[in-house]
A and B are shown apart, each in its own frame.
Chain A
Amino acid sequence: MVQRISREEVAHVARLAQLALSEDELDSFTSQLAAVLDHAADLEALNVDDVEPSTHPFPLKNILRSDEPSEGFEIEEVLEVAPEVEEGQFRVPPILGESS
């Protein structure tokens, strides 16, 4: 039987999700994800074309707060729990792939 998700597809979604998988993990995740998708196959037989999709239990509308200044978090408090900080900002390694 053809599996519902291939090893290549799992490798692809892992890359999209920024996860690195070992060869062994690729094997086990592929069969586990296929099993879940197999179970979800019972939905295929359902004709729901004329049913509206629901994204939420209740209809949501955008709620805006009044445009008044209010106190946020102290910068120090937020940076205190950050992994790397420099001059009051989050520090990150090079973004474009060049090492500085």
Chain B
Amino acid sequence: MKATEIAEKVSSGEMSARSVVEHHIETINKIESDVNAFNLVTAEQALIDADEIDSKIASGETLGPLAGVPISIKDNLCTRGVETTCSSKILEGWKPPYNATVIEKLREAGAVIMGKTNLDEFAMGSSTENSAFGPTRNPHNLELVPGGSSGGSAAAVAAGFSPLALGSDTGGSIRQPAALCGVVGVKPTYGRVSRYGLVAFASSLDQVGPFANTVSDAALTLEVISGHDPRDSTSIPEKPLEILEVLNQGVDGMRIGVIEELSGKGLEGISPDVSSRVEEAVKVFSNAGATVESASVPASIYGLSAYYVIAPAEASSNLARYDGIRFGPRTEEATTAETMTATRTKGFGDEVKRRIMLGTYALSAGYYDAYYGKSQRVRTLIMNDFAKAYEKFDILISPTAPTTAFPLGDKTADPMQMYLQDVCTIPSNLAGHPAMSVPFGFGEDGMPVGIQILAPAMAEREMFQAAKVLESESGKDIE
């Protein structure tokens, strides 16, 4: 059932929050052992929270827009008193003394948290195989990956464990798993959603966003979690978004550009399945009254290279705090320095070590200008090219990922092959722009394909209007 429908029925007393939560716990009990979407299921607390909502309704209180709606939370968002691990041994057992701002906002809106979802360790990866607690599997085919890093959140929504989930997106970590699992995933404008309580990976790129089965549910969730937060100095001083009021306005007269560097022949390694769905999406938009033309964002092809310098550089600094002194497990040695090294060596997985070292190298004397300095200039180029493209177009589209879901173990030995999964999603993070993935049919392998819709900074409303058009044509929305 849709989140909007659940909230309506719970608020009107037609359905109890308890029955909704019980239903989802049943689904989790049935198939979670196959999917492994969660690091922790908080079923007991969810039932307590549901009962509280039901008693509020019984006493005539008005509840928020997500009353009784189950939601799953990526395990890199801090939940007070509830283990938050980032799927890393270095945080195993750590219970944050505070809630992320988005958690506070969700609870205020009446949402019920079902548990903490699996991810690639510290959100570094594109398959959720880099988790210290075992991989998540794609609910559409358990032999395949769900994408990543927010693979647990995407799988939880696809498997029916909760109609909503939160993830974080640094280079595509919401959109790519959304595409591979056939759900909607949104990376809002940088600063649109508070990052307070999101465990930092690459601070100039990280952004929290929703997963949902439908575009309107994703819009509602984003409305709830967006808005200025004095606790995050990068938070944009704007009121929460209002998307639902314009959601059905269509794309008549809209100018839509297909990014030629990131689709069709322009993109190396793109699967024919994905290409043909993009062509199909173009037809849908044209039929709905939009002008659709080819668009060029020339510097976007350098996004991947720039990202894999900038993100590790920021990560190497952000992850310096994990040293076994103030929180998390400690591997004690004779001196503090040895304790720190032993704790980090034992606590971090290989991909995290790779990125920390890559970042440390890129920032080190003698290499700073060649790698980090250059990448920051390329970041400006990408922003400039987007700005030029948006003079001619209202929104842009591309595939979300170059392929559909791939088998577990397929890319783990070759990090560079894994990184290529993010080639279409990274440019939006570098520019700070909003972008989302909308499920749009299936490839010949029967696996979902996602179309990425990109918009200029702050233009989430137009982005969602286009997403809604695409969704209605793919027959997914049951309104």
| A77-B357 contact given A36-B415, A53-B377, A93-B335, CB 8 Å threshold | no
In this complex, the interface size class of chain A, counting residues with CB under 8 Å from chain B, is: 35 or more
Chain A residue contacts of B431, Cβ below 8 A: 57
Measured between C-beta atoms, what is the minimum distance from B310 to chain A in Å? 9
> Which single member of B98, B302, B357, B433 contacts A43 (CB below 8 Å)?
B302
B307-334 CB mask vs A (1 if < 8 Å, else 0) is: 0110000001000100111111110111
| A57-B190 contact given A16-B364, A29-B357, A77-B97, CB 8 Å threshold | yes
Chain A residue contacts of B328, Cβ below 8 A: 83
Measured between C-beta atoms, what is the minimum distance from B203 to chain A in Å? 9
Q: Report A24-76 residues with CB < 8 Å from chain B CB.
A: 29, 32-33, 35-37, 39-44, 46, 48, 51-58, 60, 62-63, 65, 73-74
Measured between C-beta atoms, what is the minimum distance from B99 to chain A in Å? 12
Stretch at the interface among B25-33, B118-126, B342-350: B342-350
Chain B residue contacts of A52, Cβ below 8 A: 377, 380
A95 to B95, alpha carbons, bound, how many Å?
Answer: 27
Chain B residue contacts of A51, Cβ below 8 A: 377-378, 380-381, 384
CB–CB A93/B339 < 8 A: yes
B472: interface (CB < 8 Å):
no
A63 to B380, alpha carbons, bound, how many Å?
Answer: 24
Chain B residue contacts of A21, Cβ below 8 A: 345, 353
A78 to B328, alpha carbons, bound, how many Å?
Answer: 11
Chain B residue contacts of A37, Cβ below 8 A: 358, 371
Measured between C-beta atoms, what is the minimum distance from B92 to chain A in Å? 12
B45: interface (CB < 8 Å):
no
CB–CB B379/A53 < 8 A: yes
A53 to B430, alpha carbons, bound, how many Å?
Answer: 12
Q: Report A1-40 residues with CB < 8 Å from chain B CB.
A: 5, 9-10, 13-14, 16-21, 29, 32-33, 35-37, 39-40
Measured between C-beta atoms, what is the minimum distance from B37 to chain A in Å? 25
Residue of B nearest to A14 (CB): B357
B376: interface (CB < 8 Å):
yes
CB–CB B383/A42 < 8 A: no
A86 to B333, alpha carbons, bound, how many Å?
Answer: 17
> Which single member of B234, B378, B384, B419 contacts A56 (CB below 8 Å)?
B234
Chain B residue contacts of A32, Cβ below 8 A: 354, 415
Measured between C-beta atoms, what is the minimum distance from B419 to chain A in Å? 7
| A48-B377 contact given A17-B357, A29-B353, A94-B336, CB 8 Å threshold | yes
A54 to B376, alpha carbons, bound, how many Å?
Answer: 5
A20 to B341, alpha carbons, bound, how many Å?
Answer: 7
Chain A residue contacts of B345, Cβ below 8 A: 19-21
Chain B residue contacts of A74, Cβ below 8 A: 97
| A40-B305 contact given A33-B358, A52-B380, A81-B95, CB 8 Å threshold | yes
Chain B residue contacts of A60, Cβ below 8 A: 233-234
> Which single member of B95, B344, B358, B374 contacts A18 (CB below 8 Å)?
B344
B136: interface (CB < 8 Å):
no
A93 to B344, alpha carbons, bound, how many Å?
Answer: 16
Chain A residue contacts of B234, Cβ below 8 A: 56, 60
Measured between C-beta atoms, what is the minimum distance from B29 to chain A in Å? 30
CB–CB B334/A94 < 8 A: yes
B367-399 CB mask vs A (1 if < 8 Å, else 0) is: 000110111111111011000000000000000
A93 to B334, alpha carbons, bound, how many Å?
Answer: 6
CB–CB B334/A99 < 8 A: yes
Residue of A nearest to B205 (CB): A57
Measured between C-beta atoms, what is the minimum distance from A39 to chain B in Å? 6
B250: interface (CB < 8 Å):
no
CB–CB A17/B356 < 8 A: yes
Chain B residue contacts of A99, Cβ below 8 A: 334-335
Chain A residue contacts of B361, Cβ below 8 A: 5, 9, 13, 33
B432: interface (CB < 8 Å):
yes
Measured between C-beta atoms, what is the minimum distance from B417 to chain A in Å? 10
Residue of B nearest to A32 (CB): B415
Residue from A10, A14, A95 having most chain B Cβ neighbours under 10 A: A14
Provide 9 A-B residue pairs closer than 8 Å at the C-beta atoms, listed in order of the A residue: A13-B364, A17-B353, A36-B419, A37-B371, A43-B302, A43-B374, A44-B370, A54-B383, A90-B326
Query: What 6 A-B pairs are tightest by C-beta distance, nearest first?
Result: A57-B432, A53-B376, A83-B330, A48-B377, A77-B97, A40-B305
Q: Which residues of chain B have a CB within 8 Å of any CB of chain A?
A: 94-98, 190-191, 204, 230, 233-234, 236, 302, 304-306, 308-309, 316, 320, 323-330, 332-342, 344-345, 348, 353-354, 356-358, 360-361, 364, 370-371, 373-381, 383-384, 414-416, 419, 430-433, 457
